[in-house]
Structure 1
């Protein structure tokens, strides 16, 4: 029997379960491009429930305990004496989420000789030290595409929130109890006609481009894997060979690249400096793709007109993190990929991965990041490891 350790975010402050706003969610059976949604052999939850918090348990407890497995769920993950650190050494499987990541460092992996599988309930496995996972003979998997559309919708929302100066306007009528129209519109623009760029044209990036096309903007993108010509023509895309060319050509930049050595701190003071004065950055990918302090400085100087992020480092960030108080921001606590709709899919995908692993069946290639001693499946396309 196996021991499975899940690190999930804490329950709502008002208690679990919450008072749900809706009685049901739409049933989605496939993604753009033809990939099927998760197909586990069974489910023990109702789609639309809060599954990503500790009490939600990803809907896995009955399944695992019926098998005779041990299932430990915690939100306590900060070293050195966290529940994660105490339970990890004899765990076979660790499940985590990008929103409340269990950072599987080289040291933690070395402390867990039985650890064979790390699952991301969601998308993005950069919280796992991939070279160490490879050396340890582990499999790393994530539920690819499960929340891609969720994140793309959030990114478009944040673009509109920044350009239309929504947060300060909202604050006038709620926090300040005022009606200051001139203050609210003094930084309020139309998105129409702007140059909007996407860095990373994978599933999320392409979904953002498709959702932006009806806004009558000029669409740009950059990716190491150039899109087919017919897609470029359909969406009216201008391709840029590198991030610097893209950054210099747009008014709004939405980041959708994975975090790896080539993208870490890519948007530093120099890169932000080549952007048009008064540009906007939206980052729903990973916080370390931008330089934290360079963003703050650019907002204070006016080089950037706004920054909206859904990702932080570390997660959760400390109370004095400068992004909490910088001007012209529209920050959220990494919620874009954890809508109740997305949770139904990534919980089901987590169970599908576990079923395959327990049964000795192949895990879908699109779910694989590391397997067989190297990057595999989606991981071979999306990540690099220092060699």
Structure 2
């Protein structure tokens, strides 16, 4: 019998929805790069569109795992030496976590997890796992690649429009009974004709570029592996060999790259100074890609016009985190990749990974981050161990 330790975000404060806003969600069978959506063996123990990403939702895994005689423990208590996660980790064979409510598998925690064989990210982005330590310990790390890429890309487009059009303050004016149009539009512009640049153009970054193309913006990108020339021609992309040249050229900067040691703190005071005054910055990748206080300084000085993101460090962010109160921000909790639509896919993908693992079958190459003591699959394309 295996012990599976699953860390998910807490249930709704107001209780589970008595009914959902919609009766159904569209069926997504595949992604733009040709990868198929998760295909676990039936039955799936939830209805597509249900809230399964929180503790009581359990990702719909309990019936499957208990049917095999395994023990499933689901908790949101993940931080600190006295947390349930810390207490139960030494006995766990499988750990499941989310980018939105990450159970940080540090080198120290991995050293205590003597029975751990598989760490699964229910979603995409496995930087909450010390990948070098996992590789050294022979732990397989997997994530549900592709499951919520479009969810995040749509969130980026929403944030771009919200910042540039000054939507959030204008909405507050309407809620408060006001009609002070001049105040609302004093920071509102058209996106049309602006230069938009993404740092990182993988699955999510490319999806963002495709969705912004119809807005008649000038599109820029930088990426470790340059895109195919046919894609560049199709979207009218300008490629930059380095981040600095992109920052100097664009009006909107989008962070869309993985977090590993060499990308941590990429946007600092020096890099913000390279941006033209009035630049907007979007970050739905990882909070530690930017220096926390450098963002605040850039906004307070007026050098950048707005910052929107849904990624923080740590997660959840403490109540006094300065990004909550800095001017001209469009911050949200880490929600971009956990819509009810996305939950359906990443819950099904988590089930598929577990079925492969317990069935002694290969885990999909696209889902692998670390295997056999080294980066593998998507991990080999996206991450570095140093």
Larger mean Cα displacement after TM superposition, 12-21 or 192-201: 12-21
How far has the Cα of 1:17 moved from its partner? 4.5
Q: TM-score, normalised by structure 2?
A: 0.99
After TM superposition, list the pairs within 5 Å mapping 1:80-159 onto structure 2.
Answer: 80-159=81-160
Q: Hey, what does 2:345 align to over in structure 1?
A: 345
> Secondary structure of the residue that 2:249 maps to in structure 1?
coil
By how many angstroms is 1:113 displaced?
Answer: 0.4
- Aligned match of 1:248: 248
Alignment gaps of 5+ in structure 1 = none
Alignment check: 8 A CA contact 1:133 1:370 kept:
yes
Alpha-carbon contact 1:104-1:128 (below 8 Å) kept: yes
Cα deviations across residues 214-242 of structure 1 (Å, max 9, x unaligned)? Answer: 00010000001100001000000000001
Aligned to 1:302: 302
1:33 aligns with 2:33: yes
Which SS does the other structure have where 1:254 is aligned?
A: strand
Q: 1:16 Cα deviation (Å)?
A: 2.2
Deviation of 1:75 after TM superposition, in Å, equals: 0.3
Q: Assess if the C-alpha contact under 8 Å between 1:16 and 1:55 holds in 2.
A: no
Whether the aligned pair in 2 keeps the contact of 1:77 and 1:102 (CA below 8 Å) is yes
How far does residue 18 in structure 1 lie from its aligned partner after superposition?
A: 4.9
Deviations 1:278-310 (A, max 9, x none): 000000000000111001000001110000011
> Map of 1:243-322 to 2, 5 A cutoff?
243-322=243-322
Q: CA RMSD in A?
A: 0.7
In the alignment, the residues of structure 1 paired with residue 107 and residue 116 of structure 2 have an alpha-carbon distance, to the nearest angstrom, of 12
Cα 1:33–1:270 shift into 2, 3 Å: same
**Which structure 2 segments of 5+ residues have no match?**
none
Alpha-carbon separation, structure 2, partners of 1:376 and 1:34: 19
**Alignment deviations for residues 158-196 of structure 1 (CA, whole Å, 9 cap, x no partner):** 00000000111111111x321110000000000000000
Query: Following superposition, which runs of at least 4 residues in structure 1 exceed 6 angstroms of deviation?
Result: none
User: Normalized against structure 1, the TM-score is what?
Assistant: 0.99
SS in 2 for 1:248: helix
Do the aligned partners of 1:172 and 1:178 also contact (CA within 8 Å) in 2? yes
